Structure 1
Amino acid sequence: MSGRGTVKRQRGHKARLELTGAQSAILDEQAFAAITVWNCLHAYWTHFSGKRPILAQADQAIRQARVDFPFLAVLPAQAAQAVLKTYRQAWENFFNPDHPARRPIFRSKKGRPRLAVDVPQARNMRIVRLSARWGAVTVPMVGRVRFRWTKDLPGVGRNSPAGAVTGGRLVKEADGWHLVFRTETPAAPVPAHQGPQVGIDVGVTVAPALSDGTMREHGPWLTLGEREHLRRLEKTSARRRAARPRKSRPSGRERRVYDQIARLRAKAKRRAVDWQHRTTTELAATFAVITVENLSIATMVRSARGTIEAPGGNVAQKAGLNRAIAGQAWGRTVALLEYKSADRGGQVVKVPARGTSQTCHRCAHRDPAARNGTRYACTNPGCGWVGHADTNAAININNADGSAVSGRGDLGTARSAKRQPPRAA
């Protein structure tokens, strides 16, 4: 925050690149070279049993590797320096007790690794807008590339918002290469949001339920024809995988089937992310305080396979539940709510998730048998409330005490209503 009371808001914007076959091949080579640089750094870093080398020594090792191994020269020097910074940050995240990062390991080139190349500085990108739907950018060692223009970039063009593009990151997905622009815009402090507060309960088979009795519905991410096409492709891939000798590489026909499956799943993900963005924007603009469950998603999607000594049960059913939870992307929904609420003067509050689905919000009677699917019928003879189970859980979430994880305002004032007796629906 500057002395004038303004803050710099950092955001990212992803745009699809229109590449030729030769340009795409160059970016593939750069991405694999970046993986090699990471692995060389990891081998160099872990070689020392005592004090780790300083950044200057690691930087010199990268420069020497680019001289000794000419295939690493396809990676721009700035992108190689970005790999070093990312690797160092990975160790800092690992040693940070408040960060869930794992220990850095070697990255494999086999299978389908996630390919990415950093563009740390924007001074040579020369971003221009060509038309209403297209823009152009200079990619290091690739040249001039067109990209889909879906949002105005700060500092680009006459009518663009104030700010600047500070860099980018090239990422390859199922439908090709994308460029994620890193943007920085000035933002004045926003006043506290004056809207109501709400609790949200997320589910697997139904849409998110709000404590005001409403839901945010969405249909299937793929049409009926697309789902049938995906089913046929998965059957084809299973047949070809079963016919292939063990430990042999997939044929070109098998890889093409995998690519088609990946493109269909990527299409479903894009539609899901678009729905999440539009829904969270509406929620952040409407409500001042949004209460969500503090879920440990990594623990929830842990495999039930067990070990050889103690094998697990209902493995297939648990695997299906894990896929359903991952498909809903609860963590992404909360992350979107956090920064969008903060931009509008609101806040997101996380509360303990234990018992919210089994407790009656009206009389606080807790009974696991009271919930049957999406129906909740309180078993307390003196209450007998009947309604939607997710709405009941959302009201309990809204009535629970928690801690703010983002936003502004007086938390004590915002949470004062939580200490009142349970209210009727």
Structure 2
Amino acid sequence: MWNLLHAWWQMMPKEKRTLVNADAAIRQAREDIGFLAILPAQASQAVLKTYFQAWKNCWDGRADAPNFKGRFRTVMSVDVPQGRDLNIVRVHRRWGMANIPKIGRIRFRWTKDLPVGKHGNAENRITGARLVKDPLGWHIAFRVQTLEVTPEPHQGPEVGIDVGITVPIALSDGETYGHGEWLTDREKAKLLRLERRAAQRKRHRKPGEQASRRLHRTYDQIAGLRAKAKRRALDWQHQTTTAIACAYGTVVVEALTIANMVRSGRGTIEEPGQNVAQKSGLNRSISGEAWGGTVVMLAYKTARHGGTLHKVPAAGTSLRCSACGLTTPGSWESQAVFVCKNPDCGWSGNADHNAALNVLHLYRMGLALIPAAGRAVVRRAKRVKPAAAR
């Protein structure tokens, strides 16, 4: 449904891309296409609302433009759009019960207070739910509608952020946020053993032969360990971005083109690349840190706390001295130490702290990027002459 809606959006002229026309197109598609008619009408409307919300997030600069979704790159999920049909009851301190259409009564882990019973009213109520499946099993997420007070402008200080691999997040005030390995030594040993077992079983499979159940079971165990590591990384990411959004009123980050940074260095047959293995390892490390997800979380969390998020050009922030402003290549004495090559300056310090200071300095100079029709535009601040020179 999402992909058909996105294809319709691209084919329509701009003046016809409205919610009413999209709703009419979905109704017509449900009449013409048999498998779309099986999907409940409320679920189709939920897809439509989600799609339009994705465009609103793009226009507000909080996310990229929506695109087609791949079956194997998308988490399997099912919407339950009617909250009144759930009949949620808390039966234990840790467990609750809910009704799911066409499934029946299910039990779920109670991890957060929900507006049910005396806590639910017209202003604070559950409007629906979503069933999500990942390698660790099925999960249910409830959609809650509540009234929130518009936050007051955050009075916290300004801070620049530099993201990296050795030091995941470094702030301009000297604070750093790091993490360890997402899997324990025992879990990593188990993952290696499972990967070797899967490779061995795959080697004995003949070309065109269907994979055995043992191989599928091994793949499921591998996916479970990787999902566990991903969940721990996401938890750290949420806690870190929440702490930053609560402590600072203005957060400045680099406008990184991550897709270009993780591009393969293999090259072509005529011009093969160099250090391909090292570049592949660097690409995996960059993808594992999920810098783009960190920026997305900071965008909506700073707005929720009354702060603002700004992006500045990323070119030269690691090579520029934060003390004198001179940009010279080869200023790193090591991976973590920056030494200015200007003989009149000679400043030295932590390289990540230096880059974060440069990021904050670009914002204070007025070189912030503002989203405009899907592209970044540099906004320069006007220089104001002193009163004596006017």
Equivalent residue of 1:397, what SS?
A: helix
**Amino acid corresponding to residue 385 of structure 1 in structure 2:** W
Equivalent residue of 2:84, what SS?
A: coil
Offset of residue 125 of structure 1: 1.7
**TM-score, normalized by length of structure 2?**
0.80
User: 1:105-143 CA deviation, whole Å, 9 max, x = no partner?
Assistant: 7x55xx786422222232212223222222222212111
The answer to whether the aligner puts 1:264 opposite 2:232 as a matched pair is no
Alpha-carbon distance between aligned partners in 2 of 1:308 and 1:85, rounded to the nearest angstrom: 47
User: 1:192-244 CA deviation, whole Å, 9 max, x = no partner?
Assistant: 11111111111112231111112112221111111111122122222222332
The answer to whether the aligner puts 1:403 opposite 2:371 as a matched pair is no
2:159 to 194, 198, 201: 198
User: 1:360-402 CA deviation, whole Å, 9 max, x = no partner?
Assistant: 1111121221123112111222222222111111111111124
Alpha-carbon distance between aligned partners in 2 of 1:84 and 1:190, rounded to the nearest angstrom: 29
Equivalent residue of 1:369, what SS?
A: coil
**Amino acid corresponding to residue 105 of structure 2 in structure 1:** R
**Amino acid corresponding to residue 382 of structure 1 in structure 2:** D
Alpha-carbon distance between aligned partners in 1 of 2:172 and 2:339, rounded to the nearest angstrom: 17
CA 1:159–1:114 in structure 2 vs 1: closer, same or farther (change >3 Å)? closer
Alpha-carbon distance between aligned partners in 1 of 2:347 and 2:80, rounded to the nearest angstrom: 58
2:168–2:289 Cα contact (<8 Å) kept? no
Aligned match of 2:176? 215
Aligned match of 2:241? 280
Aligned match of 1:240? 201
1:59–1:84 Cα contact (<8 Å) kept? no
**Amino acid corresponding to residue 203 of structure 2 in structure 1:** A
Alpha-carbon distance between aligned partners in 2 of 1:286 and 1:61, rounded to the nearest angstrom: 49
Alpha-carbon distance between aligned partners in 2 of 1:210 and 1:217, rounded to the nearest angstrom: 12
Equivalent residue of 1:198, what SS?
A: strand
1:347–1:404 Cα contact (<8 Å) kept? no
- Select between 237-246 and 286-295 the one with higher mean Cα deviation: 237-246
1:62–1:80 Cα contact (<8 Å) kept? no
1:152–1:160 Cα contact (<8 Å) kept? no
Equivalent residue of 2:182, what SS?
A: coil
User: 1:63-92 CA deviation, whole Å, 9 max, x = no partner?
Assistant: 4644xx6x974x5443355457778999x8
Structure 2 matches for 1:62-141, cutoff 5 A? Answer: 62-63=30-31, 65-66=33-34, 73=38, 75-80=39-44, 82=46, 100-101=64-65, 104=68, 114-141=75-102
The answer to whether the aligner puts 1:151 opposite 2:112 as a matched pair is yes
Alpha-carbon distance between aligned partners in 1 of 2:64 and 2:298, rounded to the nearest angstrom: 20
User: 1:230-259 CA deviation, whole Å, 9 max, x = no partner?
Assistant: 122122222222332234332111111111
Offset of residue 104 of structure 1: 3.8
The answer to whether the aligner puts 1:393 opposite 2:322 as a matched pair is no
CA 1:227–1:405 in structure 2 vs 1: closer, same or farther (change >3 Å)? farther
1:373 to 335, 340, 345: 335
Aligned match of 1:16? none
**Amino acid corresponding to residue 221 of structure 1 in structure 2:** W
CA 1:380–1:57 in structure 2 vs 1: closer, same or farther (change >3 Å)? closer
Structure 2 matches for 1:278-357, cutoff 5 A? Answer: 278-308=239-269, 310-357=271-318
Alpha-carbon distance between aligned partners in 1 of 2:40 and 2:353, rounded to the nearest angstrom: 53
Q: How well do the aligned residues superpose, as a CA RMSD in angstroms?
A: 3.7
**TM-score, normalized by length of structure 1?**
0.73
Alpha-carbon distance between aligned partners in 2 of 1:38 and 1:197, rounded to the nearest angstrom: 39
1:200–1:290 Cα contact (<8 Å) kept? yes
CA 1:202–1:137 in structure 2 vs 1: closer, same or farther (change >3 Å)? same
**Amino acid corresponding to residue 85 of structure 2 in structure 1:** N
Alpha-carbon distance between aligned partners in 2 of 1:316 and 1:180, rounded to the nearest angstrom: 40
CA 1:405–1:133 in structure 2 vs 1: closer, same or farther (change >3 Å)? farther
Alpha-carbon distance between aligned partners in 1 of 2:359 and 2:49, rounded to the nearest angstrom: 40
Alpha-carbon distance between aligned partners in 2 of 1:83 and 1:299, rounded to the nearest angstrom: 31
1:292–1:349 Cα contact (<8 Å) kept? yes
Equivalent residue of 2:344, what SS?
A: coil
The number of residues matched between the two structures is 361
CA 1:166–1:305 in structure 2 vs 1: closer, same or farther (change >3 Å)? farther
Offset of residue 38 of structure 1: 6.8
Alpha-carbon distance between aligned partners in 2 of 1:120 and 1:236, rounded to the nearest angstrom: 42
1:164–1:184 Cα contact (<8 Å) kept? yes
Equivalent residue of 2:176, what SS?
A: coil
Aligned match of 2:377? none
- Select between 111-120 and 227-236 the one with higher mean Cα deviation: 111-120
Equivalent residue of 2:174, what SS?
A: coil
**Amino acid corresponding to residue 351 of structure 2 in structure 1:** A
Structure 2 stretches lacking a partner, 5+ long: 372-379, 385-390
Offset of residue 180 of structure 1: 2.5
CA 1:272–1:103 in structure 2 vs 1: closer, same or farther (change >3 Å)? closer
2:30–2:37 Cα contact (<8 Å) kept? no
